[in-house]
A and B are shown apart, each in its own frame.
Chain A
Amino acid sequence: MLQIMEGSHAVAEAAKLCRPEVVSAYPITPQTHIVERLADFVADGELDAEYICVESELSALSVCLGSSAAGSRVYSATSSQGLMLMAEVVFNVAGMRQPIIMSIANRALGAPLSIWNDQQDSISLRDAGWFQLYGEDVQEMTDQHFIAYKAAEQHDVLLPGFVCFDGFILSHTYEPVDIPTQEEIDAFLPPYVPYNKLDAKAPISMGMYATPDYYMEFRYETDQALQRAGDAISAAGKEFGEMFGRDYSGHTESYRMDDADVAFVALGSICGTVKDAIDEMRADGIKAGLVKIRTFRPFPSKELAKALAGVSKVAVLEKNISLGSTMKGAVGPEVKDAVTGTAIDVYSYVIGLGGRDIRKKDIRGIANLAEKGVGNMFYGLRTEVL
């Protein structure tokens, strides 16, 4: 049933419906409302889970890692500096193959201090071995939690995942969302069956020392598993669609791409604004389209190449900056790689960092630049303060 609620609360509802057995998190803006609500659920007896309070994000994810290794379904949420403080454990969770799901309310990184949105936090951890999903609206980011658990816990995957959504822009927005019932989610997401777990009666070790004779094979296996996660996400997204009528089998979603000449590629909430801008450009005879990336890790190169076939220019909208790189944004080079061997020109545009508002006219401005072959740049700089 459609109801109106804050994005953070919808995520908390989604997490609850997944029946995590352990929740550990440390509050940080703009993620705080999620973990506050989950703490309420546990205190009120609505969620039968251990809510473990900790003194930092490093401890939060460490608790999650231990709990997952002991065989529990585990949930956490964080943002920005909190994710950075977790970073050491983030890599360990993937290396130890624990299917933890963590919500990321995307926020800029300091310095300078910013509480506002961009996607620098999760994008900066793209190499950590977690799959990464990005939601465009409250409905999509809610649904992605169910899909994330289902995919992560497949025994041929066993990897953690981020469910990312733009801080404030989605976390603090009230809008209508359909929250499934517990019975529906129970039918979609069965209880977690660990492949192996820490058990005093049958001891095993995890996260062992790997000498040069073995380390590379571990890394190879983790990469193979992350590639398989792509198939598992797609399969879970398809099954979800069959049950709930909202299909997420695609790692990408195309909007008005049929005869598009200029294509935008973007992740997250900006895609809504881009769609409205495209409608206006189309009305003015500009053949623009959008390919939204839902799954950033594993990177959906083949799907993207297919979706972009036939366009002449691609404008990648980046809410991140890979400082010191040629294209500026971190997503652009991967899009460019996906269309290698074609005549398509790919440009990155860094936009909306640290909460800078993004308007339809900005999207149109970028389309104009792409048409002229000007890109790999910041868009919307206030030159008067430089």
Chain B
Amino acid sequence: MGIFLRELRIHGRGGQGSVTAAELIATAAFKSGVFSQAFPAFGVERRGAPVQAFVRFSDEKVRLRSQIYEPDYIIVQDSSLITDVDVFSGLKEGGIALVNTEKDTVDGVPEGVKLIAIDATSLALEILGLPITNTTLMGAFAAATGEIGLEALEEALSERFSGSLAEKNIAAARRAYELVKEGQ
């Protein structure tokens, strides 16, 4: 096992792009020289059902294949999940919870956890014209944790999307990045 192993768990609903978010965060981390691993936990494959996706970051090859139970970070794409799913389960003390919400506070955040609340839905609607929050939250994740650089994230986004779609998603990620940086 390596010198460091940090773990991210993403909570979302089917159709919100949680798996894509995990893949792109892992890709951005790899581009920053980290050995990353991203994988989904598929439940029932339908829109709206709670889904999880996971990312591990390490200085060396990640061998562990189990799901993530004690994450350093969580991303919650949809705050309505908090009443259905124990999104904070196992979140480490000193960990970071990044929650998409219109409100300033979130119920149930464990003690010792840093909450970053961001209205990613409004940002995504404004910039992308769609309430798809995954790329916005990736920008916020980069700013909040420093696990991935903004440049690497932009590179990963432009590999995944093309043309104006890439530009809009990069703009959304960048805006969220700046907002979180300003708040720190």
Task: List the interface of chain B (C-beta within 8 A of A).
Answer: 1, 19, 22-23, 26-27, 30-31, 35-40, 42, 45, 61-67, 69
- Counted as pairs of residues, one from A and one from B, with CB atoms less than 8 Å apart, the total is 66
Is A272 on the interface with B (CB-CB < 8 A)?
A: yes
Q: Which residue of B lies closest to A170 (CB)?
A: B65
Q: How far is it, in angstroms, between the C-alpha of A176 and the C-alpha of B60 when the chains are bound?
A: 11
Given A6-B23, A172-B40: A358 and B1 within 8 A (CB)?
no
With a cutoff of 8 Å between Cβ atoms, the chain A residues found around residue B45 in the complex are 115
Q: How far is it, in angstroms, between the C-alpha of A10 and the C-alpha of B36 when the chains are bound?
A: 16
Q: Which bucket holds chain A's interface residue count?
A: 20 to 34
**Contact between chains at A172 and B66 (CB < 8 Å):** no
With a cutoff of 8 Å between Cβ atoms, the chain A residues found around residue B22 in the complex are 174
**Contact between chains at A275 and B63 (CB < 8 Å):** yes
Cβ of B29 to closest chain A Cβ, rounded Å: 9
With a cutoff of 8 Å between Cβ atoms, the chain A residues found around residue B63 in the complex are 137, 271-273, 275-276
**Contact between chains at B23 and A174 (CB < 8 Å):** yes
Q: Scan A215-237; emit 1 where CB is below 8 A from any B CB, else 0.
A: 00000000000000000000000
Q: Which residue of A lies closest to B44 (CB)?
A: A115
**Contact between chains at B66 and A357 (CB < 8 Å):** yes
Query: DSSP class of A's interface residues: helix, strand, loop or mixed?
Result: mixed
**Contact between chains at B39 and A174 (CB < 8 Å):** yes
Cβ of A379 to closest chain B Cβ, rounded Å: 14
With a cutoff of 8 Å between Cβ atoms, the chain A residues found around residue B31 in the complex are 4
**Contact between chains at B65 and A270 (CB < 8 Å):** yes
Which one of A168, A174, A360 contacts B26 once the chains associate, using CB atoms below 8 Å? Answer: A174
Q: Scan A260-297; emit 1 where CB is below 8 A from any B CB, else 0.
A: 00000000011111011001000000000000000000
With a cutoff of 8 Å between Cβ atoms, the chain B residues found around residue A269 in the complex are 65
With a cutoff of 8 Å between Cβ atoms, the chain B residues found around residue A357 in the complex are 66-67
**Contact between chains at B65 and A4 (CB < 8 Å):** no
Q: How far is it, in angstroms, between the C-alpha of A116 and the C-alpha of B44 when the chains are bound?
A: 11
Which one of A168, A279, A358 contacts B39 once the chains associate, using CB atoms below 8 Å? Answer: A168
Among A6, A174, A360, residue most surrounded by chain B Cβ atoms (within 10 Å):
A174
**Contact between chains at A168 and B65 (CB < 8 Å):** no
Q: Which residue of B lies closest to A273 (CB)?
A: B65
With a cutoff of 8 Å between Cβ atoms, the chain B residues found around residue A116 in the complex are 42
Given A6-B23, A276-B1, A279-B1: A175 and B37 within 8 A (CB)?
yes
Q: Which residue of B lies closest to A174 (CB)?
A: B38
Is A169 on the interface with B (CB-CB < 8 A)?
A: yes
